[in-house]
Structure formats: structure tokens, C-alpha cells
């Protein structure tokens, strides 16, 4: 029996790593580049990459409005790094004209930890995925600077900064679980897709 059919937005960024994790978990994975691709899936990963480029390409490919509608209608979505930025209702330090898809009642600050050379790794306690710590890789990562009342902060840095949030069937992460063989967040997406 195949798992749920889920998509990975494949306009730019770290698509292959997400496809690998989802396939290893038994999902039927589709690359989403056009509205008809999106219509064929029951859950979606918004990968890391360059959020402003993904924003522009989503408009060029006619995907922005279908993505916004799918999110508003409750499609389960996992956004990592740039994907978190895309899911945020509010963005700090975006480039001129940059838009988000929205859905998460949060404010996110781009490149909050500096340049690529200031990337880092750390272990996080994330009760939402179990007791074992999550080894998290941050690469030009955003941070959540403000959360609305319906948003749960599921991951924080040791000094308290919010780097993981959940609101209904939407999960946004500042870090890259797909680079570490960390499958539990993708498991949350598949569970939500099965329920949906």
C-alpha cells in the first residue's frame, strides 16, 4: 500500500533531499511546478532555498494563487527555512516587492543569523516529535520574531529564539531536518495528509 500523495514545491532550492526523506517514509511524492501538480497532492513541502526567488517563480508559473488557496483551505504544509518565510503572514527584512504565501500567523525575519559562513548546527528539544533531541542545521536561517495566539512555538534555541512553529496543519521550521536524516517532521506532514 502506498503512502499519502504529497508534493515538494520544485521551483528552486533543496528539493531532492525532501523527496528522499518522503520516499523513504513510504509517501507517493510528486514534484509541484504547475497548478495541476498541486491539485494532485494532499500535502506539500516548501523547501529551503532563496525565498525571494521562489516567490517570483511561483508568480511566473501561475502557482501563487493556487498555493495561497490550498493553504487557506487546510492543506498540510511543512516549510523549512525559505519555506517558513513563504508561510509567514508577515516578513521583516524582505527584499523590495517580496511577498509571502501566508497562512502562519507569525512574523519572520530573513537571514536572522547572518551570512552562509555563519551557518551552525545545534541540538533542540522538540516535544512535538518526541523525546530524542533534534539535530538542527541552520543555513542563512530566518527566525520567528512574533507569534499570533493560534500558533504553537514547537522549537526554540537554547537562548529562547523561536525556530519552529505549528498552526493547525502547517509546520514551519527555521532549520533543515532533511539534511540530517531527521524524518519526524516529515512524518507529521504525512500523518496530517492521511487525516485530511
**Residue 166: beta bridge partners?**
152, 171
Q: How many CA atoms lie within 13 A of 99 on its CB side?
A: 10
Q: What are the residue ranges of helices labelled H in the chain?
A: 15-24, 35-39, 51-60, 64-72, 82-87, 184-195
Q: What is the Rg, in whole angstroms, of the alpha carbon atoms belonging to the chain?
A: 15
Reading the block at residue 17, the C-alpha cell is 533531499
Give how far Cα 23 sits from Cα of 1, 10, 29, 46, 82, Å: 13, 15, 7, 16, 22
Reading the block at residue 170, the C-alpha cell is 502547517
Tell me which residues are annotated as active site.
81, 176, 178
Identify the helix (H) or strand (E) that includes residue 152. strand 152-156
Amino acid at each position: 500500500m502506498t503512502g499519502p500523495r504529497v508534493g515538494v514545491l520544485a521551483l528552486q532550492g533543496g528539493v531532492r533531499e525532501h523527496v528522499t526523506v518522503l520516499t523513504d517514509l513510504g509517501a507517493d511524492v510528486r514534484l509541484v511546478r504547475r497548478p495541476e501538480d498541486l491539485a494532485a497532492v494532499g500535502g506539500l513541502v516548501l523547501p529551503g532555498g532563496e525565498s525571494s526567488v521562489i516567490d517570483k517563480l511561483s508568480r511566473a508559473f501561475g502557482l501563487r494563487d493556487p498555493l495561497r488557496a490550498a493553504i487557506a483551505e487546510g492543506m498540510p504544509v511543512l516549510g523549512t527555512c525559505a519555506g517558513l518565510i513563504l508561510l509567514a503572514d508577515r516578513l521583516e527584512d524582505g527584499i523590495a516587492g517580496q511577498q509571502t504565501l501566508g497562512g502562519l500567523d507569525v512574523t519572520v525575519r530573513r537571514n536572522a543569523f547572518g551570512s552562509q559562513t555563519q551557518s551552525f548546527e545545534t541540538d533542540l528539544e522538540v516535544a512535538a516529535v518526541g523525546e530524542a533531541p533534534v539535530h538542527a542545521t541552520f543555513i542563512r536561517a530566518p527566525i520567528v520574531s512574533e507569534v499570533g495566539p493560534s500558533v504553537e512555538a514547537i522549537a526554540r534555541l537554547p537562548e529562547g529564539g523561536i525556530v519552529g512553529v505549528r498552526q493547525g496543519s502547517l509546520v514551519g521550521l527555521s532549520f533543515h531536518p532533511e539534511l540530517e536524516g531527521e524524518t519526524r517532521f516529515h512524518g507529521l506532514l504525512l500523518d496530517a495528509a492521511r487525516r485530511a
